[in-house]
Amino acid sequence: MIVVKTRKALKKAIRGLRRQGKTVALVPTMGALHDGHVTLMRSAWKHADVVLVYIFVNPRQFGPNEDFDRYPRPWKKDVAICRAEGIDLLYAPSLEDVYPEGYGTNVSVEGMSEELDGAYRPGHFDGVATVLTKMFMRLQPDVALLGEKDYQQLQVVKKLVHDLDLPMKIIGVPTVREASGLARSSRNQYLNEEQKNAASTLYAAMKKAAETIRKGGDIQEALDVGKQALLSAGFKKIDYFELRDAVALAPITMLKKPARLLAAAYLGTTRLIDNIAVNPGRQRLK
């Protein structure tokens, strides 16, 4: 595995791969790799000859009161995981390499970034769109694989690639879960054992709400019951627990096409997000 940390070294490595005519898949990460990332890596081999991973904890997608400074950075463990998965190239740039002095450009995806996570984390998706645009240009992948756990992010990135005519494809990979149903996330490391047990309620509440809706139950009532289940389990704050169009993420009043139930809530100081698909039905939101 080639490990590069500078743009100059990256350019040389990418030129070498391209001369061989090999297709390239990219797995973008912020490190603290877990089974969810490994699933992305293994899925990537189905779509390309070469698999690249980048690790960069992007400050632009963290809010002023979020966990940038304490975000886990287990470098040696991450490198070992990439080696074990046969990754061809690992790119780990410095902050200065990505955002040099005087950097002043921002990429924004309008119409999909303002609500849900965008409403509670202003500027978050601008940070995601900006860093991914830079990384896509540097790494020149044919495909990039992102997890469906960050479903709004996945849709934002798909729109970014479409709107900018980038010559690549974005592939979503299903969420990897613990045995309890808790979605795998680097932030799960912040949870103690009691909180991990309570965290499983998030997926359970979403499954119950989705099933109620599929069986013809009142949609708003199903959402309200789900929120109450979270509060009863110890979640201290719910940012959202909503049903949205599965593609545009627009609010819906009638379930006529595929939808997504999306949620974000706090256990202690840890913010957990998750989502689940909901099949079409004919229930009206009140």
Give the tens place of pLDDT for each residue, 101-116. Answer: 999 999 999 989 999 9
First to last CA, the chain: 55
The whole-number pLDDT of residue 281 equals: 54
Q: Which fold has domain 2-173?
A: Rossmann fold (3.40.50)
**Considering only 128-142, 205-219, 221-235, which range has the smallest mean pLDDT?**
205-219
Q: Kindly state the tokens that stand for 281.
A: 């039905």
Of 151, 135, 170, 125, whose CA–CA distance to 52 is shortest? 135
d(CA 171, CA 43): 10
Residue type, 69: D
The whole-number pLDDT of residue 286 equals: 47
The whole-number pLDDT of residue 77 equals: 97
d(CA 241, CA 223): 7
The whole-number pLDDT of residue 255 equals: 77
> Taking residues 29-50, what's their average pLDDT?
96
Question: Angle 160-26-86 (CA atoms, 0-180°, nearest 5)?
Answer: 170
**Is residue 34 flagged as an active site residue?**
no
Spot the catalytic one: 34, 37, 124, 162.
37
Q: 89-93, 175-179, 188-192 — which one is most confidently predicted on average?
A: 89-93
Please state, rounded to an integer, the average pLDDT across all residues of the chain.
Answer: 94
> Taking residues 28-32, what's their average pLDDT?
97
In the chain, ranges of CATH 3.30.1300.10 domains:
186-278
d(CA 58, CA 47): 26
In the chain, ranges of CATH 3.40.50.620 domains:
2-173
CB 51 within 8 A of CB 23: no
> Taking residues 167-189, what's their average pLDDT?
94
The whole-number pLDDT of residue 280 equals: 80
Q: What is the pTM of this model?
A: 0.93
Distinct helix (H) and strand (E) counts, the chain: 9, 9
Of 75, 35, 40, whose CA–CA distance to 55 is shortest? 75
Answer yes or no: CATH 3.40.190.10 is held by domain 186-278. no
